[in-house]
Chains A and B, each alone.
Chain A
């Protein structure tokens, strides 16, 4: 198990390095950092002077290593648009996004997995149909519309929750529902097909033959096998939600990473963009590593092979 963990961590590190390199290269090819920094009414001379002053005239690989070294020390540079250290911006925006991401992930798993299990235990019944409709609804509904509907209903018509902002836990509830609802359908459907598959397997027949109680058969014997692919998909959904959602953050006026990404792209704010993309990819790498570890714990066959 230890070897598995070490190998998985090494792989994650390697991927992170590649992503950072790729991000750096792409951003520096598509955008001239000096031009972006100088602003619209700068002269060619100003730009050239800035280029030399900021070291943008050095070869790309030198600048990359330079940047990487600072990043490893927690220094992402200074945002030319905000005029603040990027790390401060990130630290400022991160808590909102992470809170929302964690809540939305929990919401999606808590609703999606049981719905999928129940649908598989009672296939082609009313319960199955209802949970399938929930899945279709969750997939088809646009975020901005769903957000507005919830606000109108639960914040304006019946003022149970605040319309927007980040004051207290209650202001996270509506955005959590909107963001989490997106992740319910894949989780629910995968749980359902996984369970249906497993429930017709030989070892489940054995479990019945042993006279085990239904709850032992369904939850101990079936769910553990069925949940393995769900974990992988839930991890991707989680990474997505931890990376921030521009629409949800915009509608509910939550100033998180999603909005920061939007703003930095609009202003060609390279240091901020680099940091945001790196963090986004780190979430992906981290969550996929986490899902591998969880699955290795769940299924011993993954551990050894």
Chain B
């Protein structure tokens, strides 16, 4: 990566105020994404994937606190923008597709209304041309223009259709960065593949940089250029997709992949497995490696200090005190 990365996140911390104290949803997260590249974020439920995405977009819930050393998208330093400037970017330069298609559209307004208001806002289009463009975009995401969908309300559409509407809406203003947070998790298996195909196709066609959050290793192997593995709010391993899937170096990543029948040859629908044990409480500080309690290779040193994310020879980053050679033989 000789050029400056398109997205650059450094030292992102997200705390949530919860009844028991402060929940550290994301700790010291750093990653860069080159222009046009797809980064997949994987990890168990609750590992902080959505919070990372929402933190980057500035869409955190009201009980959240965000801090970071650097948050850059393109030429924009997100940390120095005020709310108005941020609003100008959102939907225009960077857009997000949510995990919850059923509830992410406003029940009171028609599809056409919700789509066109974005064009009116960012591209200063008139209402009529905006509706025409919205219709074209629906066609583009596989919703035929004949069906009068523009005049329908969200409750008249299935989850798959709603997610298509969302994808069309969020891509309409040609953002340079799209964050897709498990866009297919809430949908039927048959619909999942279609939506994924659609999104991946559009991303390639439009040359968009993408952050894709998923549980599905099949999806990872198909669309990701690089993968970041999150555990208990931290990125524990990050690197090129092939290398991570073939040769995981963090015990957690390895654990996830071992649950899959043939690592590296995953098919769509192959999910991350489960590892025995439970995630440490995110409330309060960690005293050592967050995975130590579940790690089959944990040593005394693992509980004493939080391992740093270190760069290994092949450029991949791993948050573990040990190298794979020390942990398991290459057999």
Contacts and interface: CB of A to CB of B under 8 A. Distances in A.
Partners in one complex: yes
B106 A225 contact: yes
Contacts, number: 80
Contacts of A206: 98, 104-106, 166
Contacts of B153: 300-301
Contacts of B92: 211
A219 to B, nearest CB: 12
Interface string B55-89: 00101011000000000000000000001000111
Interface residues of B, number: 31
Interface residues of A, number: 24
Contacts of B83: 214
Interface stretch (A111-119, A125-133, A168-176, A195-203): A195-203
Given A201-B103, A301-B155, A209 B59 contact: yes
A211 B105 contact: no
Contact of B87 (A211, A298, A300): A211
Contact of B62 (A200, A216, A298, A301): A200
Contact of A210 (B107, B117, B155): B117
Contact of A208 (B90, B103, B122): B90
A61 interface: no
B300 interface: no
A203 B87 contact: no
A225 B108 contact: yes
A213 to B, nearest CB: 6
Interface in A222-241: 224-225
21 contacts: A202-B100, A202-B104, A205-B59, A205-B98, A205-B104, A209-B57, A209-B59, A210-B90, A210-B121, A210-B169, A211-B87, A212-B118, A216-B117, A224-B108, A225-B107, A298-B108, A299-B107, A299-B108, A300-B153, A301-B107, A301-B153
Given A203-B104, A213-B87, A216-B117, 17 more contacts: A203-B106, A203-B107, A205-B59, A205-B104, A209-B91, A209-B96, A209-B98, A210-B95, A210-B118, A211-B90, A211-B122, A212-B118, A213-B121, A221-B106, A225-B106, A225-B107, A298-B108
**Nearest 6 interchain pairs by C-beta:** A211-B90, A211-B91, A202-B103, A210-B91, A203-B106, A300-B153
